[in-house]
Chains A and B, each alone.
Chain A
Amino acid sequence: MAIVKMSKFTLFTFQANKGELLKKLQIYQNIHFKNLSTTDMPEYLKKDFSNEQFNFYTEGIAKLTFIIQKLKPLKPKEKGFAALTTPKPSFSYDEFEKFSTTYDYQSLYEKLKSTDEGIRELKQKISRLETDNVSYQNWHALDVSTKQLSSLKYSSYLLGNVNKANFNSFKEALEKNYQNFYLEHLGDSKDDSHVLIIFEKGITDEFSNFLRDNGFSKASIEFPGLPESLVKGNNSEIAKLKNDVASLESGNKEFVSELDNTLIIMDYYESMLERVKISGRFLKTNEILILEGWLPQDEVKNLEGILNEACRGEYFIELEEVEYESTEVPIKLKNNKLVQAFESITAMFNMPKYNEIDPTPLLTPFYILFFGVMVGDIGYGLVLVIATFLAIKFLALNEGTKNFMRFLLYCGFGTIFAGILFGGAFGVTVFAPIQYTNPTTNELGYKAILDSNWDIVTMMVLSVAIGFIHIIFGLLVKGYMNIRDGKILSAIFDSGFFITTLFSAVGLLLGTMGVLPAGVGIASKWVLIASLIGLLVTQGRDCVTMVGKIAQGAYSVYGLTSYVGDFVSYTRLVALSLSGAYVAISFNQMIGLLPPGIIKIILGAVIFLLSQTLNIGLAVLGAYVHSCRLQYVEFFGKFYEGGGVPFRPFSFNNKYINLKE
């Protein structure tokens, strides 16, 4: 339970051993390599990175991605449950490597590529024909081919466009200046009118100038036949081409069975690329390879075993303890199963630094409590517990998802616990053990331990009290860290004074309100004054000048007001809990309003299912997010900085396969 102790190593071996060594270390998955830099190093040390290999594997990956893209949509989808429960195929490393290096994906790629190109060509043809059709449509009224028009003896013709809005004025101008011409309006597109003009052969130049000046532009279009028949011909051609495309596409179906194999090779290539990339972190001379990195302390023996095997004894290793203050050491957390499920919460904020402590075990009980209170319903808790339990038991999930399911499972138990306190299941009160008298009607009745009608004030006070404990706990953790590092005074100044301030302030408040005896109030007052003076005097101790010391001390006393905000923030516990509960209750009341009978049963069941599903989703999302916030802002703010580098061991890509030992 805590941050795993690390050892740092520097390893020298011959280049010849590199392949075998990296292979073994990649299977081992316990080494985080340091990225060695060549600056300030002698010139004979060079980066060990092979562009050639890098290109080889990235190109392979690009081809595999292409195959997967083409084949995946063709594969029939597995039916829901089967798809979720089928585990990934298992391989030993040797099987994996042999399979991946002997499988001929290149020829599969070539085949798919050529069909793909064929399809693209056909599609281009189709789109060309379709554009032609569109332009033919614009001239649909033309009832003569251009061939016939050019064979006229005494006349010339022009096809062209006039702006739609100007068509009439164009026509008038023409009629005014010429007699011997024929003008036909053939059709319209968005802006233009399309026209045919036939005129005397002799006046061509002058006439076309006149037309141009009046806004006519010649269209360079030919009609080997009538537009209508041309469109018809194109359409039948398009249908034929589309058929060809479909048959090419369905031809790919015979390769679908290869998809699973391709995915396995994808894993192999990604892993090999990882191996090439990690080499970029090493240094080399002509003969020697230098590697530096970290591994968990208790793994050192195993590493030496691997080195003896992989390098046949030809290596030199230097091991050192990692300095406590080191900031570059990677951080690995190790916790029991329960706490492990909550590591993602810590990781989302920031990994701890090597000299801090792992906050996960500290936040876990509070997180479960917060989450439980915010959802606070026996029914919802049971749904969470059962659903996640079944998912863990029966579905083939990857490690991350499984962990998240476990996280929800534990939070589900918290929800059931809080639900028992609030007495509700799906918005219906099911557990009401406390006798009480209704203040307005004076009737005797039963209510839940913390009733959402009668105990809202108590619940608010309790929320703030939980917050008080949470914050004091955070301050205690900070004190512990200081004492552990031998800074007793810092522990007293930075934790002790704050804790006494908070306790005495609460004591004073409760004393004056009469909740606690007056003597406690008076004693608290003096403790409070002493604590404030203590803070004023000590909080500026890092400043150099006297003025700085005083100002800093005063500022930190002023900063105490932020604690008020912190406490108020915890009222979100009761607020979210009540809003979830009342939404459930009011949906149930809506069902109660339905007229009795068979409709009520059917419609009621549907409304119940939908509304409760919606509410459980919203409640869980809200609880997840706001529990995080209370940890990050209110709790971590008291003691935790974070900023450590997460431990990322050199390992395999196993998205699609399982690697056996």
Chain B
Amino acid sequence: MVDFFMQYGGIIIGGFGAALSVFLPGIGSSRGCGLVGKTATGLLTEEPEKFGQALILQLLPGTQGLYGFLIAFLIINNLTPTINLAQGFFLLFAALPVAFAGYRSALYQGEVAAAGLQILAKKPEENTKGIILAAIVETYAILGLVGSLILLVVAYPNIARM
């Protein structure tokens, strides 16, 4: 058992990291988009012509899922059968920033974007302000992405050489 874990642990743990960074922000993004979409239906029954602008607001919390996907992609590129346990753990940790920052920020961003529909309903010409407000939340998902990127691209090559 110990032998098995020492031999394959790296790729298993690393793979877990890749999975985390896809499914956590994925859940967050789908819930964020879902919240905005659900709220938007109320507005669209009254004013169906605002569909395009409502769609933009709904898309905003969707990007976290993409960020997680990007990190998973980079992790998978590094997953070779030869990596050891330490490297595997490092890949898992590299996934954490984007996974958790992405997960929560997508939910909060969804809430702001859903509230932004109020602006769209009452003052459609000011709709972009609602978009910007929601985008501010995304900063922290981006920082999570950058953190994961640094761990993977800057730090990991040194670890891999050890």
Once the chains bind, are A572 and B139 in contact (CB under 8 Å)? yes
Q: Which residues of A contact B128 (CB under 8 A)?
A: 348, 628
Count B interface residues, CB 8 Å: 28
Q: A348-B128, A572-B139, A576-B142 are in contact. Are A456 and B149 (CB under 8 A)?
A: yes
Query: How many angstroms between the C-alpha atoms of A578 and B149 in the bound complex?
Result: 10
Judging by beta carbons under 8 Å apart, are B135 and A626 in contact?
A: yes
Q: A618-B59, A618-B62 are in contact. Are A568 and B143 (CB under 8 A)?
A: yes
Name which of B63, B138, B157 has the most chain A CB atoms within 10 A of its CB. B63
CB <8 Å contact, A578 and B70: yes
| A629 with B132: CB separation less than 8 A | yes
Q: CB < 8 Å: which of A572, A582, A617 contacts B73?
A: A582
- B69: Cβ under 8 A from any A Cβ: yes
Across the interface, which residues of A come within 8 angstroms of B135, CB to CB? 625-626, 628-629
Q: How far is the CB of A634 from chain B (nearest CB, A)?
A: 11
Q: With a CB–CB cut-off of 8 A, which chain A residues contact B150?
A: 460
Contact B145 A625 (CB under 8 A): no
Chain A contacts for B74, CB-based, 8 A? 582
CA distance A622 to B70 in the complex (A): 15
Q: Inside 8 A of B139's CB, which chain A residues have their CB? A: 569, 572, 629
Cα of A449 to Cα of B120 in the assembled complex, Å: 42
Known: A576-B142, A578-B70, A629-B136. A618 touches B153 (CB 8 A): no
B1 at interface, CB cutoff 8 A: no
Instruction: Report whether over half of chain A's contact residues are helix, strand or loop; otherwise say mixed.
Output: helix
A571: Cβ under 8 A from any B Cβ: yes
Please give me the residue from chain B that is nearest to A628 by CB atom: B132
| B134 and chain A: residue at smallest CB distance | A625
Judging by beta carbons under 8 Å apart, are B132 and A575 in contact? no
A569 to B146: give the CA distance in the assembly, Å. 10
A74 and B135 CA atoms in complex are apart in Å by 41
Return the contact of A579 from the options B129, B136, B145, B157 (Cβ within 8 A). B145
Q: Which residues of A contact B119 (CB under 8 A)?
A: none
In the complex, whether B67 has a CB less than 8 A from a CB of chain A is yes
Q: Find chain A residues with CB under 8 A from B146 CB.
A: 460, 568, 571-572, 574-575
Interface centre among A572, A625, A629, A633 (most CB of B within 10 A): A625
- Complex CA–CA separation, A38 to B66 (angstroms): 59
Q: Which residues of B contact A633 (CB under 8 A)?
A: 136
Minimum C-beta distance from A457 to chain B (A): 6
A621 adjacent to chain B (CB < 8 Å): yes
CA distance A578 to B66 in the complex (A): 11
| A 568-608 binary contact with B (CB < 8 Å = 1; else 0) | 11011011101100110110000000000000000000000
Contacts of A167 in B (CB 8 A): none
Chain A residues within 8 Å of B154, by CB: 456-457
Binary A-proximity of B113-129 (CB < 8 A = 1, otherwise 0): 00000000000000011
Q: Assess whether B56 is in contact with A621, with CB atoms less than 8 Å apart.
A: yes
Q: Is B131 an interface residue (CB 8 A)?
A: yes
Contacting pair B149 A575 (CB below 8 A): yes
Is A468 at the interface (CB under 8 A from chain B)?
Answer: no
Query: Nearest-CB distance from A465 to chain B (Å)?
Result: 15
Question: A439-470 vs B: 1/0 string, CB under 8 Å?
Answer: 10000000000000000110010000000000
Q: Does A503 contact B (CB under 8 A)?
A: no
Q: Is A632 at the interface (CB under 8 A from chain B)?
A: yes
B56 to chain A, nearest CB (A): 6
Indicate which residue in B132, B142, B153 contacts A571 across the interface (CB closer than 8 Å). B142
Contact assessment for A572 and B142 in the assembled complex, using a CB-CB cutoff below 8 Å? yes
Q: How far is the CB of A138 from chain B (nearest CB, A)?
A: 32
Question: How far apart are the CA atoms of A586 and B76 in the complex, in Å?
Answer: 12
By CB atoms of chain B within 10 A, which of A460, A571, A579 has the most?
A579
CA gap between A439 and B74 in the complex, in Å: 17
Chain B 42-72, CB within 8 Å of chain A: the 1/0 string? 0000000000000010011011001101100
A582 to B65 CA separation, bound complex (whole angstroms): 13
Q: How far is the CA of A331 from the CA of B109 in the complex (A)?
A: 34
Closest to B160 in A: A440
Contacts of B157 on A, CB cut-off 8 Å? 439
Asked if B69 and A586 make an inter-chain contact with CB atoms under 8 angstroms apart, the answer reads yes
Nearest CB of chain A from residue B79's CB, rounded to whole Å: 14
A632 touches B66 (CB 8 A): no
> Are A583 and B142 in contact (CB-based, < 8 A)?
no
Q: Which chain A residues lie closer than 8 Å to B66 at the CB level?
A: 579, 583, 618
State how many angstroms separate the Cβ of A376 from the closest Cβ of chain B: 14
Minimum Cβ distance to chain A for residue B125 (Å)? 10
Q: Are B153 and A457 in contact (CB under 8 A)?
A: yes
Is A583's CB under 8 angstroms from B69's CB?
yes
> Are B145 and A575 neighbours in the complex by a CB distance under 8 Å?
yes
Minimum CB–CB distance for B89 against chain A, Å: 21
Residues of chain A lying within 8 A (CB to CB) of residue B129: 348
Chain B residues contacting A456 (CB-CB under 8 Å) are 149, 153-154
Once the chains are docked, how many angstroms separate the CA of A578 from the CA of B145? Answer: 10
Q: How far is the CA of A622 from the CA of B153 in the complex (A)?
A: 23
Q: How far is the CB of A143 from chain B (nearest CB, A)?
A: 45
Nearest Cβ on chain B to A425's Cβ, whole angstroms: 19
CB of A583 within 8 A of CB of B132, answer: no
| Complex CA–CA separation, A628 to B154 (angstroms) | 29
> Are the C-beta atoms of A579 and B63 separated by less than 8 Å?
yes
B62, B73, B157 — which one has the most chain A CB atoms within 10 A of its CB?
Answer: B73
Beyond A348-B128, A569-B139, list 8 extra A-B contacts (CB 8 Å). A456-B153, A460-B146, A571-B143, A575-B67, A578-B149, A579-B66, A579-B70, A618-B66
25 inter-chain pairs at a CB distance below 8 angstroms, sorted by A residue, are A456-B153, A456-B154, A457-B154, A460-B149, A460-B150, A568-B143, A569-B139, A571-B146, A574-B149, A575-B146, A578-B70, A578-B149, A579-B67, A582-B73, A582-B74, A585-B73, A586-B73, A618-B59, A618-B62, A621-B60, A625-B60, A625-B132, A626-B135, A628-B132, A629-B139
Which residues of A are in contact with B by a Cβ distance under 8 Å? Answer: 348, 439, 456-457, 460, 568-569, 571-572, 574-576, 578-579, 582-583, 585-586, 617-618, 621-622, 625-626, 628-629, 632-633
The 9 closest A-B pairs by CB, nearest first: A625-B135, A456-B153, A582-B70, A571-B146, A572-B142, A579-B70, A575-B145, A575-B142, A575-B146
